[in-house]
Amino acid sequence: MIKVGIVGGTGYTGVELLRLLAGHPLARVTAVTSRKEAGMPVAEMFPSLRGRVDVAFSTPEEAKLTECDVVFFATPHGVAMAQARELLDAGVKVIDLAADFRLKDPAEFQRWYAMEHSCTDLLAEAVYGLPEVNREAIKQARLIGMAGCYPTSVQLGLLPLLEGGKQLIDTQTLIADCKSGVSGAGRKAEVGTLFAEAGDNFKAYGVKGHRHSPEIEQGLSVIHGAPVKLTFVPHLTPMIRGIHSTIYARLTPEGRDTDFQALFEARYAGEAFVDVLPAGSHPETRSVRGSNTARIAVHRPGNGDLLVILVVEDNLVKGASGQAVQVMNLMFGLPEDAGLQVVPLLP
């Protein structure tokens, strides 16, 4: 049985980890940290976990994290890099759901997250947590920087078109028009995510620059083997969960004779958590709510030279905690879908 520690168990990604791990056949949560809530039973804060999670919050000092097999960081940026080395030295595997180990360039990290990276030597070792791209590296890793929610959807949407240096699309004019529910902003009191502010409303944000942009471009460039440029525009939608990404790619002359439906179906045929829908489909966020599945549809309007890829995922599951459990399964040689066979909720 894998002994699991969670640092920062009071946020949305923390409670989502607890929900998924409560049903995991081969993992058991032994420590959940929160300085403010230390001593409080987890199920008291989250009644949905009554009878499923019997641990209490504890301070990091009391949690005995070095006795765990793996520790998840469901914390703000900057926390994992301050504690990762001690855990790694103790033989504990580390999975960070924040951005501390996503970007390989520490200068880029400092630019976008307004803090200096405190363990740049570990960046070279850290593996990017997107299983459909880095499955074999994840299996051998001890430190994972999980992919962000928006970057997961965009990279999955473009992966079949770019990997192996394919020249099917113009890699310098890509556009990702993405929408997220308010839970993507985290579990904190903030005016912009109050129900009266976000409900019955729709807006773009971060158009001049968003911290997920360098992560997406870094990932796509690695997939392609050459620099890729993308315009990324996120939007806030009046729903709790879900991401819908509409991606636009201009075809090259080489790509115009490609059967893109067949290309996507072949690429994801063996993937447990990527579902390529039939031609002409329009995926809905509610079709993945609560599950670790991403659904993709490929369109070529008017059989022209513009490809439109639609991707939906639950930002808290495939976009965060579910994908982190998927990564844990790979790291410990478990079935990749262990604890993740969750049917989406409808309605």
Give me the phi and psi of 28, to 5 degrees please.
-140, 130
Identify whether 347 is preceded by a cis peptide bond (ω within 30 of 0): yes
Sheet of 230-236, strand order: 203-204, 230-236, 174-180, 243-250, 306-313, 294-299, 274-276
Task: Find, among 136, 229, 242, the residue nearest to 180 by Cα.
Answer: 242
Please give the Cα distance from 191 to 318 (Å, whole number).
27
Partners of residue 248 on adjacent β-strands: 175, 308
Please give the Cα distance from 204 to 214 (Å, whole number).
18
3-class DSSP assignment, residue 311: strand
3-class DSSP assignment, residue 128: strand
User: What amino acid positions are annotated as catalytic residues?
Assistant: 149
- For residue 188, with 0-12 CB atoms within 10 Å meaning exposed, 13-18 middle and 19 or more buried, which class applies? exposed
- For residue 284, with 0-12 CB atoms within 10 Å meaning exposed, 13-18 middle and 19 or more buried, which class applies? middle
Q: For the packed helices 131-140 and 322-331, what is the interaxial angle rounded to 10 degrees? A: 40
What is the distance between the terminal CA atoms of the chain, rounded to a whole angstrom?
35
Partners of residue 3 on adjacent β-strands: 28
